[in-house]
Amino acid sequence: TGQRVSVIFAIGGWAIVALIFFFMGAELWVKARQNKYMSNWEWIVLAVDVPTDTIQSPKAVEQVFSHLSGALFEPNIGQKYWQGVKQRWFSLEIISLGGYIQFLIFTEATYRDLVEAAIYAQYPMAEITEVEDYVGAIPSKYPNETHEMFGLEFGLAAADPYPIRTYSEFEHSITPDYTFNDPMASILENFTRIGAGENLWLQIIIEPISESWKVKGIELIKTIITNKKHAPQQFFLFKLINVIAEELVKAVKPPSEAPVVKKKEELPGKISDLTPGVRDTIAAIEEKISKIGFKTKCRVLYAAPKELFNPGSCLDGFVGSLNQFDYAGRNAIAPVWATNAHYAFKNYRISEIKKKFVGAYKKRKIKTGKKSYVLN
């Protein structure tokens, strides 16, 4: 066995190492080209004010998102690897500065007209104004002499295709004229809980993506129906290495003389065999993948002068308000990263995590932190 392993590495070990360095080099090259491509981008912040007496269905906001998906641009191989062409993204933000709440959209100037058209189409009486970016109100490094901060990043508790509870499921017949219980009310309540000098900021970064994400939903439905375990997805490089390794093993391993045992044929699963709850879950997955999706990252940041610092006054309630989107057996929004640390080098690690978190928030980076996910 040891001799065979030596032969395998002698024949193909160099190829695997070469592949690893090739992909690492390609990644660095693309990043450098993208940085050059993005150097000419101009980011702006738009404040959106909708009159309080505006009557509009939540469906209107869904149409706004559909409109923003027009920013999707899929570069070809030459554009991606030579020109560094990169997809532009948006950051949808709710901020409270000492209790004053404002809705903002952070966008690259190229898509200002797209953003304005998307909002005016659904809210003709809205006011959209370009404002100065607010993120300079707090320091970028911690600890510092004046401020303290705490941040949370949120993700999905289950796989992307599983949906959270959506606005259509918040309909309650209170009176003949009013049948909707707005889930935003309990979220915004936390933004009113802070006083002068305190800051509570929420950002939802969305990046248009192609329809390819829906394949995971289709595969998940098949897995549920056949009652099989969902195989973990492998990166392309790992798949390639596995294929090379298998072929090398076949090349040095003598053919087996053992009789071939036929596997028992498994009968495909049927929808009629599933419980009503599972069938409803499948229908919910189908509904999610029927709509336009965005790569998403959600963060909330609380910062205040040290003498006023009290994150529990608003963050506990904020996390609780997100529980209303939980759907048992489907999906939920849950904290996946926080600006704290435990055990060895705790203070140093906390300062580094805070610096990284604040930097990602201020620059609206979608890749920093935990893996992004798909929402619609």
For residue 232, the model assigns a pLDDT of 45
What percent of the chain shows pLDDT beyond 70?
Answer: 80
Classify residue 262 as exposed, middle or buried by CB count within 10 Å of its CB (0-12, 13-18, 19+).
Answer: exposed
Q: What is the band of 237 on the pLDDT scale with cuts at 50, 70, 90?
A: very low
Distance CA 338, CA 311 (A): 13
Question: Can you spell out the DSSP letters for 158-207?
Answer: S-TTS----GGGGEEEEETTEEE--THHHHHHHHTS--TT-EEEEEEEEE
For residue 177, the model assigns a pLDDT of 65
Rg (CA), the chain: 25
Tokens coding 6: 């030596």
Give the predicted TM-score (pTM) of the model: 0.82
Residue-wise pLDDT tens digits, 270-298: 677 788 888 999 999 999 999 999 999 99
**Residue 303 DSSP class:** E
For residue 300, the model assigns a pLDDT of 98
How does the average pLDDT of the chain come out, rounded?
85
**Who's near 144: CB < 8 A, 6+ residues apart?**
none
C-alpha distances in Å from residue 256, one per residue of 11, 47, 142, 210, 247:
22, 70, 63, 45, 15
Contact 241, 19 (CB under 8 A): yes
Instruction: Please check the confidence at residue 260 and state whether its pLDDT lies above 60.
Output: no
Residue-wise pLDDT tens digits, 324-374: 999 988 999 999 999 988 777 788 899 999 999 999 999 999 999 999 999
Tokens coding 56: 């509009």
For residue 188, the model assigns a pLDDT of 95
Four-CA torsion 209, 215, 220, 222, nearest 10 degrees? 160
Contact 204, 298 (CB under 8 A): yes
Distance CA 96, CA 297 (A): 20
Residue-wise pLDDT tens digits, 54-103: 777 888 999 999 999 999 998 888 887 778 888 999 999 999 999 999 99
Tokens coding 143: 């600890």
For residue 281, the model assigns a pLDDT of 92
For residue 194, the model assigns a pLDDT of 96
Instruction: Over range 120-126, report the average pLDDT.
Output: 94
